[in-house]
Amino acid sequence: MSDLAIERTIAPQWLSVKLNWPTKVALGIIAVLVICAVAGHWLAPYDPNATNLVGRLQSPNAEHWLGTDHLGRDILSRLIVGSRVSLGSVALCLVLILGLGILVGGASGFIGGRTDQIIMRFTDVFLTFPTLVLALFMVGMLGTGLVNVIVAIALSHWAWYARIVRGIVLSLKHRDFILASRLAGATRVQVFIKHLLPATLSQLLVLATLDIGHMMLHVSGLSFLGLGVTAPTPEWGVMISDARQYVWTEPLLVFWPGLALFFSVMAFNILGDAIRDKLDPHLCAEHGH
């Protein structure tokens, strides 16, 4: 995708990613998402939870640009406010996954020896589960609800990241600068935080960005199944689920939330590709989950 069109390199202070037009569009979409997530309640034309059974199932018109749902709620408003849940849950997921991954993988690689072996076996067990099945199981154990879905998805994805972190740590552990640092008297924790962490973090961020789209799909997938948010909180997956009985009569109800998801995932995928192409074109992005 980065071969498309002409490339102009613009260099903001910390990230000089090639800004061809797809990347600019993607950044634009993400910016819109973030704004909606943060300021949704002010931006939304109507209260997303205000029901109005008289005006239900309206087609898009001047008052309700995207129409209303089966309870008369304005769809555009629900989409805007729903971005908070979608973005927020993915962000939380990421934090959890990276945290767990760095903690477990980093410790395992750094300590080495038998502890490493044991921890890796433990991680391997998690890797034998297909991710959605593991997420379903976690929800089964923790109960339904948005937070549980976030935790469940985090717990089903972290193992892969832990392995990556361990790999990076193992490859860097014996380098001279680490040795020098230790000789200078730094404790192992200090060495880890100061030297190993930055290196792993940059690679991890690239991988994580490529994965954000995937995680959004899983979160909304579980919500679609009804295991996530509770009514009436707006969330794109749940909106699709609510609209399914109206597929024959009001097909647009199903269309809008899915479109929002589609564009968001696509934007993050473009961004992830651009970052990866810039930083490390040989990274394997096709790790399935």
**Residue 52 burial by Cβ neighbours in a 10 Å radius (0-12, 13-18, 19+):** middle
Q: How far is the CB of 159 from other proteins (least distance, A)?
A: 11
* Locus of tokens 């490493």: 116
Contact positions with other proteins (CB under 8 A) in 30-49: none
**Residue 279 burial by Cβ neighbours in a 10 Å radius (0-12, 13-18, 19+):** middle
Please identify which residue in 29, 258, 278, 283 interacts with other proteins, judged by CB under 8 A.
258
Nearer to other proteins, 10 or 133 (CB): 133
Say if residue 48 is preceded by a cis peptide, omega within 30 of 0. Answer: no
Please identify which residue in 112, 126, 145, 181 interacts with other proteins, judged by CB under 8 A.
126
Q: How far is the CB of 13 from other proteins (least distance, A)?
A: 29
Stretch that binds other proteins, among 79-87, 92-100, 140-148, 180-188 (CB under 8 A): 140-148
Distance CA 236, CA 79 (A): 7
Structural tokens at position 61: 């018109």
> Which helix (H) or strand (E) segment is 273 a member of?
helix 252-279
Please identify which residue in 25, 136, 170, 279 interacts with other proteins, judged by CB under 8 A.
136
The strand pairing partners of 74, in sequence order, are 68
**Residue 83 burial by Cβ neighbours in a 10 Å radius (0-12, 13-18, 19+):** buried
Please identify which residue in 29, 92, 132, 186 interacts with other proteins, judged by CB under 8 A.
132
Contact positions with other proteins (CB under 8 A) in 210-249: 213, 217, 220-221, 224-227, 237, 240, 244, 247-248
Q: How far is the CB of 193 from other proteins (least distance, A)?
A: 30
Nearer to other proteins, 82 or 221 (CB): 221
Please identify which residue in 229, 269, 275, 276 interacts with other proteins, judged by CB under 8 A.
269
133 counts as binding other proteins under rule CB under 8 A: yes
Nearer to other proteins, 169 or 265 (CB): 265
Please identify which residue in 85, 139, 146, 204 interacts with other proteins, judged by CB under 8 A.
139
Residues 6+ apart with CB under 8 A from 167: 109
287 counts as binding other proteins under rule CB under 8 A: yes
Distance CA 255, CA 92 (A): 27
DSSP label at 58? P
Distance CA 249, CA 181 (A): 68
DSSP structure string for 219-254? HHHHHHTT-SPPTTS--HHHHHHHHGGGTTT-THHH
Helix (H, G, I), strand (E, B) or coil at 48: coil
142 counts as binding other proteins under rule CB under 8 A: yes
The site for other proteins, by CB under 8 A, has a size of 49
Contact positions with other proteins (CB under 8 A) in 85-114: none
Residues at the site binding other proteins, with contacts judged by CB under 8 A: 1, 3-4, 121, 125-126, 128-134, 136-144, 213, 217, 220-221, 224-227, 237, 240, 244, 247-248, 251, 254-255, 257-258, 261-262, 265-266, 269, 286-289
